[in-house]
Structure 1
């Protein structure tokens, strides 16, 4: 026993010293960072910094700080840590373009990975590059064209359900559109993503084992606990158990089992089709097209995705394709109830189409629908901001020089390895220096003549950061835009939407994405009740 102590004690002491040294070095590097000399708000708390304020007020507070201190600022995070926040478009372009230097923070990736595994959203560097190369074919324009019929079919099913509910309520119905939009988006991503029938529109909460498993994991992600915080912040503490671990593990096992069945079915479809003949595939879902691209004979072995990597894309499709698009469409309806003249103008355009089932090309040929979708995503991007961390020292260029607390002017900022950065999405999309004094107004007509300043926004789509930009831009943006167009086309042609209560009562709550809730009933959770009636043609 004594000999064991003599061996273990020095080792434990050495590990403790190394751990303490690592922590001290981490904090010293942060506290000595040049970023701390940038202008910014005072910190009300050493422990929480400005984090509580940001959590409670969100992007509105960040915009106030930019107006007061300039486009590039510093504010304090937990225990004196620093965060860089900038709306400078030259700086953002540099950050988004250099994805090998600016990556998702490890704690952020760990929390996302708990839900969706090692999918495209989580992985970095060469792994991300290889996965994206293989997956690009599944999200190209020709593939989205194949899926538009699914978008329209499910939109019409939702229309018929709402029509029946309005008749049941006596001609004017009050419907929580968030609930139903989540269900239709789930059905769409099930069929279009991996040929899986959730039947969420018909079965509601009982829409399949895969959906229930996914939402158990998602509920654990958004539920804060001290242990989950410690596990995310400190990798060495990830052995600590939480009450929800057995539930999450069981849900992961269900998702993996169903996922493997879907992959096997997709491979079988490919084997039964003629060699590399895309048109002969029975199923045209994203997963099958991805599998086919991954099995291409001209793809080097070192660039192929493993079955485990492909498996991780299923919850990735489910998460991004379900939550983001449904929420974006709900906010689109919200914008239209606040602007009834826009809703009327849009309906008039949509009614010019003779068919209830337009093609992708027919939908894209509707200019005002396109402008409405662009404007809704500009103002109500589902993700208001995201995070990056510099994984090595770098120099960040600025288009607007910043004057630090010592009175020195800087045209660039030296960033040390480990610097945390908030990448704003909605604040850039609402920036009055880019869009003018009416930047916070919902005005689709602005897309008839886009301001020159908006051309500097480093987004992948529509002079907007709604889908980010650079190598990490959302690969599914075409899918999301076409799904949103399909839903709005069907619903605005069929119904007139009005507020169910004061529009000021609708607030925004960050739950994975930016969801609506009623300020008068915060305990009821996220919701968007709207009043609607059937549109009566004159």
Structure 2
């Protein structure tokens, strides 16, 4: 045997030995995992585990399982992997507060990094802590108040577009609210996020390059192919090429080029401001405030963000700030359409404000608007579930003890390194032991007196997990809340919402977030047509 053949044979043998070790290690962990001994539903498939069942049955199926097996149980993921599910609030608080121990799965951060780069959404540990420290000033309460004019202006633009369309249709029109909320929130994040005019509401030409490029890479994030799964799950296989790689590279290049132009413009404005009058800089957008914070003299050099990291935040703003805000507001309109009495009560409160252009303080001083948004985010949180994986062995405390399959009761669970954990969001928001027997009803009045049990929910805001919690809580939650308030203020004052067809025809489909679609026309994709009429004050 020649030397080249010997080297090839040695390489193949080494790879086989490596993979044999990995497979053996997997099955060793599987058989010895404490999670394996927890109660849980039988799996219909070794290959898919419970994944397909959960995808099809949704939170209603999970609720039935929790009722039968308890708040902490074993589920199965792909190829028989055990996954811990827990709705135990003490356990969830422990997971959220220990973000170094419980991190996003590496396959998920890899996929997210393909879209947004190494931004705050995709990094973990010390990198996340450093980035967040620099970004905090951009998301402070006072800074978000400075952006309220943009929120209100774009909300009024949307109102005027709907009014013109409705008048064309004789005073009552069918409006795809999903389509228009997507455009409005895109305009808002462009201006408020990085001083970029998408002109999405007006249909201007500038909606082109950046939006198309971002849409392309976002589409790639949710596209599932066997090869994309292998590349995400096994880092050693990421050299394998996919057909989309070349077009994805072009789109990423467009995004990076525009991002760097925005950064250069922001830096130039800051330098010009410092050379003229102190504090003369007029830009209020998140990127400018972030750049100013990153350039501050009291930030040590090793704690500053690189230009690549700053660039990644632009697309993190787009991914988190536009996608979730538009969807949350769409579901708010859906909930109000189904509850005309709530809609009327809210409108009466909003009409007490004398101006069409309220300040941030005026919006935040409306108690029923606040209660409506809390209830909408409780029942229609855009993200139903999320995941974490343990970076090291740990002990997970429980408020409700669990009895394993051998009959032994545990007040805590030993978690092995690499254990996958499902964190429920909507199931917590629907839990009857927390919210009462009417937990599935849309009733904003419940927020006048929050149930005692809800105080234990470990969320960053409003006794819900809509914005997660702990060090990984959504940094932009104030932005999202004020944006929703401005949009609902403008729309509910001006219009009455009614069903455009059978309400039961409206379904939810998970596409990064829960999006609406019509069961009678699933091929048409995401949409929510509502009958919208001009409100005529008596």
TM-score by length of 2: 0.98
Contact 1:83 1:422 in 2 (8 A): yes
- The yes-or-no answer on 1:323 pairing with 2:323 is yes
1-structure distance, mates of 2:489, 2:5: 73
Q: Equivalents in 2 of 1:58, 1:273: separation in Å?
A: 53
| Change in 2 beyond 3 A, CA 1:493/1:76 | same
What CA distance in whole angstroms lies between the structure 2 residues aligned with 1:277 and 1:117? Answer: 35
Please say which of residues 11-20 and 270-279 is displaced more in the overlay: 270-279
Q: Pairwise mapping of residues 420-431 of structure 1 onto structure 2 (< 5 A)?
A: 420-431=420-431
Aligned equivalent of 1:168: 168
The separation in 1 between residues aligned to 2:491 and 2:51, in whole angstroms, is: 39
CA contact (8 A) 2:180 2:201 kept: yes
Deviation track 1:154-173 (CA, whole Å, cap 9, x = no partner) reads 00000000001001111110
* Residue 492 of structure 2 corresponds to residue 496 of structure 1: no
Q: 2:131: which partner in 1? A: 131
Secondary structure of 2:515's aligned partner: strand
Hey, what's the Cα distance between the residues in 1 that align with 2:309 and 2:326?
26
1:254-273 correspondence to structure 2 within 5 Å? 254-273=254-273
Deviation readout 1:101-146 (Å, 9 max, x if unpaired): 0000011111111111111011000000000000000000111011
The Cα of 1:233 is off from its aligned counterpart by 1.2
Which residue in 2 is equivalent to 1:514? 514
**Corresponding residue number in structure 1 for 2:177:** 177
Q: 1:396 to 1:362 in 2, by over 3 A?
A: same
Question: In the comparison of the two structures, how many residue pairs are matched?
Answer: 538
Match of 1:474 in 2: 474
Task: Pick which of 286-295 and 26-35 moved more.
Answer: 26-35
**Residues 87-102 of structure 1: pairs in structure 2 closer than 5 A:** 87-102=87-102
Distance 1:449 1:523, change over 3 A: same
Show the 5 A alignment for 1:245-260.
245-260=245-260
Alignment of 1:98-109 (within 5 A): 98-109=98-109
**Residue 436 of structure 1: aligned partner:** 436
Distance change >3 Å, CA 277–CA 70, structure 1 → 2: farther
Once residues 389 and 77 of structure 1 are traced to their aligned partners in structure 2, the CA distance between those partners, rounded to angstroms, is 13
- Aligned to 1:504, the other structure's residue is in SS state helix
Aligned match of 1:82: 82
- In structure 2, the CA distance between the partners of 1:205 and 1:341, relative to structure 1 (3 Å rule), is farther
Cα deviation, residue 6, structure 1: 2.5
**Distance in 1 separating the partners of 2:23 and 2:109:** 20
The answer to whether the 8 A contact 1:459-1:469 is kept is yes
Give the whole-Å Cα distance in 2 for the aligned partners of 1:379 and 1:430.
7
SS in 1 for 2:417: coil
The worse-fitting range, judged by mean Cα deviation, of 58-67 and 471-480 is 58-67
Q: CA deviation at 1:206?
A: 6.8
In 1, Cα distance between the equivalents of 2:463 and 2:444? Answer: 14
Whole-Å separation in 2 of the counterparts to 1:97 and 1:484: 27
Name the counterpart of 2:274.
274
The superposition leaves residues 208-229 of structure 1 with CA deviations (integer Å, 9 ceiling, x where unpaired) of: 3100100011112222211111
Once the 2 structures are TM-superposed, how far is the Cα of residue 13 of structure 1 from its aligned partner?
1.5
Distance in structure 1 (CA, Å) of the matches to 2:119 and 2:58: 28
Secondary structure class of the residue paired with 1:399: strand
For 2:314, the equivalent position in structure 1 comes to: 314
Over 3 Å counting, the alpha-carbon distance change for 1:204 and 1:170 in structure 2 is farther
- Tell me which residue corresponds to 2:9: 9
Q: Is 2:152 the partner of 1:152?
A: yes
For the structure 1 residues 275 and 479, does the alpha-carbon distance in structure 2 shift closer, same or farther, using more than 3 Å as the test?
farther
Rounded to whole Å, the distance in 2 between the matches of 1:226 and 1:412 is 37
Residues 323-362 of structure 1: matches in 2 within 5 Å? 323-362=323-362
Encode CA deviations 1:6-26: one digit per residue, 9 max, x unaligned.
234323312331232123212
Q: Provide structure 2 residue ranges, at least 5 long, that are not aligned to the other structure.
A: none
Structure 1 CA distance, aligned partners of 2:503 and 2:489? 23
Q: Which residue of 2 aligns with 1:399?
A: 399
Counterpart contact for 1:27–1:81, Cα < 8 Å: no
Contact 2:198–2:204, Cα closer than 8 Å, also in 1: no
**SS class of match (1:85):** strand
Post-superposition Cα deviations, 1:456-500, rounded to whole Å, max 9, x if no partner, equal: 000000000000000000000000000000000000000000011
Task: Find the aligned partners of 1:108 and 1:520 in 2 and give their Cα distance.
Answer: 33
Structure 1 position 31, deviation (Å): 3.4
Per the normalisation by structure 1, the TM-score is 0.98
| 454 and 200 in structure 1: CA distance in 2 versus 1, 3 angstrom threshold | same
In structure 1, how many angstroms separate the alpha carbons of the residues matched to 2:11 and 2:39?
45
Matched, 1:413 2:434: no
Q: Sort the Cα spacing of 1:117 and 1:4 in 2 relative to 1 into closer, same or farther, 3 A.
A: same
- Structure 1: segments with no counterpart, 5+ residues: none
Counterpart residue number, 1:286: 286
Structure 2 Cα separation of the partners of residues 300 and 413 of structure 1:
41
Q: In structure 2, how many angstroms separate the alpha carbons of the residues matched to 1:8 and 1:22? A: 21
**In 1: Cα distance, 2:113 partner to 2:445 partner:** 40
Q: Distance in 1 between matches of 2:277 and 2:537?
A: 46
For residue 299 of structure 1, report the CA deviation from its aligned partner: 0.6
In structure 2, the CA distance between the partners of 1:276 and 1:119, relative to structure 1 (3 Å rule), is farther
- Matched residue, 1:65: 65
Contact 2:266 2:288 in 1 (8 A): yes
The answer (yes or no) to whether the contact 2:332–2:376 under 8 Å persists in 1 is yes
**What is the distance in 1 between the residues matched to 2:496 and 2:432?**
31
| CA distance in structure 2 between the partners assigned to 1:45 and 1:277 by the alignment | 68
Q: What is the distance in 2 between the residues matched to 1:475 and 1:354?
A: 32
Number of the residue aligned with 1:50: 50
RMSD: 1.4
Answer yes or no: is the 8 Å Cα contact 1:31–1:82 preserved in 2: no
In structure 2, relative to structure 1, the CA distance for the partners of 1:138 and 1:97 (3 Å cut) is: same
- Distance change in 2, residues 1:205/1:95 (3 Å): farther
Q: CA deviation at 1:56?
A: 1.2
Residue 215 (structure 1) aligns with: 215
SS in 1 for 2:422: strand
Contact between 2:199 and 2:205, CA under 8 Å: does it hold in 1? no
